Amino acid sequence: MKGLSLKIGAFNYSNIVLLVMMVCIRCGRSSIVHPVILIPGAGGNQLEARLSKHYKPTSLICNRWYPLNKDQDGWYRIWFEPSVILAPFTDCFAQRMMLHFDPLLDDYCNAPGVQTRVPHFGSTQSMLYLDPYLKHISAYMAPLVDSLQQIGYVEGETLFGAPYDFRYGLAAQGHPSKVGSKYLQDLKTLIEDASASNGGKQVILVSHSLGGLFTLQLLNRNPPSWRQKFIKHFLALSAPWGGAVDEVLTFASGNTLGVPLVDPLRVRAEQRSSESNLWLLPNPMFFGGTKPLVITENRNYTASDIPDFLKDIGFPEGVLPYETRIVPLVRNVEAPEVDVTCVMGAGVRTPESLIYWDGDFDKQPEMVYGDGDGTVNMVSLMGLQSLWGSEKNQSLKVIKVGGVSHMEILKDEAALDVVIGEINKLNSFSYRPPDHAEKVSEI
């Protein structure tokens, strides 16, 4: 009997849930699972563009040679397309990806003559690989989707995707945000439809990075009765709740995001124009107002000095939208009273301070590193724990996965085991969420 007990103990709870689910699925009862909707991070889905007669190319190359491939209606994949690593094409790409802030409209719009669209909303198709012809190097959510399918999820039936134009963000109440607000409405409709097509089951929302900020805004912008009816759980992976110092580098000197051969200065203006990048600058509520994030010979900049920082790097046009649209938005991070689990990497060297000794922001800085996931600082990843740790009606669980980076959270075996394990628990008939913030788990 002792040996039998040991064997039963080794066959853990998650395996039992998985076995039951597989048996039920083989019997044609896939509705045992709660539907899952995946919400990607910035750059985490394909984006398509088309040029109208109002487009004015900046060079002959942009006019005749880029892009190399279009469909019969003129649409082409602008993100991600590998030719952008070539300098002449990088300039064309940056010009077309640029957003423009209109102070009179108090909102962002595309560059003149450039139309964009997000393909395959409702599906995970545009989120699996950023380039479907280079799957090995451009995989994004493919490993996570594959893991979900192994436990019985079916694309278009119980598994859905909510890609979006990640250049755009959201604004504080009272300010228009046409593209971002439409995305929230489309996501809300997708949630309701996914629930309806699965017998009224509540939906599990799984976000990565920036997608977590959009998801939290969606929850807080809808009434408690709607959340209780449609949302089973919010599982946030690597969410930058308080922004990241890495975004300061993006604004100051440009950021290649790991793409080889690209000169960061060629994409800096485009990156500065992104509304969502403004949203991801370090939030003083988490980073404080005394710790220097940027160090120069003449002045240091903290998270409270972002307006001055934007002026001094040569981007004064970013101050108005930052102060009026972003600051009030990031000050309001309410608990949605929906069960939340945060899964994050930890123990990876992450930029904590940038040093520009001569004040030349055209150069890449020296860096001081701290804890985080290589992209997002730990103080930001742990932001909800610091805000909601004492909230009585907010269930919050935090899981740290050691040595896993911001992007590896979607493909690392140990991280995927955690994510799938949490989803298995949510699909268990006996699952009961805690009614408070749990102690942080470390793996």
- Note whether 226 and 336 are within 8 A (CB): no
* Catalytic residue of the set 246, 380, 406, 412: 406
Per-residue tokens: 251: 């604004």
**Inter-CA distances, 295 with 252, 308, 354, 365, Å:** 12, 13, 6, 10
Kindly report the backbone phi and psi dihedral angles of residue 432, in degrees, each rounded to the nearest multiple of 5, phi listed first.
-135, 115
Beta strands across the sheet bearing 366-370: 300-301, 294-296, 350-356, 366-370
Catalytic residue chosen out of the listed positions 91, 107, 339, 373: 373
Q: For 141-236, where are the alpha helices, taking DSSP H only?
A: 142-150, 178-196, 210-220, 224-230
The CA-atom distances, in angstroms, between 203 and each of 226, 254, 359 are 12, 38, 49
The structure tokens 């010979």 sit at 297
Count, residues in the chain: 443
Taking a C-beta distance cutoff of 8 angstroms, is the pair 216, 333 a contact? yes
Residues 87/259, Cβ–Cβ less than 8 Å: no
Q: Which among 127, 206, 199 has a CA at the least distance from the CA of 157?
A: 199
* Residue of 177, 209, 395, 405 marked catalytic: 209
Q: How far is CA 324 from CA 53, 78, 181, 414, 423, in A?
A: 34, 30, 17, 41, 38
Residue 368's SS3 state is strand
Note if 373 is an active site residue. Answer: yes
DSSP 235: E
Give DSSP secondary structure letters for 324-338. IIIHHHHT-----SS
CB 145 within 8 A of CB 159: yes
DSSP 24-86: HHHTT-GGGSPPEEEE--TT-S-EEEEE-TT---SSHHHHHTSSS---TTS-EEEET-GGGGS
Tell me which residues are annotated as active site: 209, 373, 406
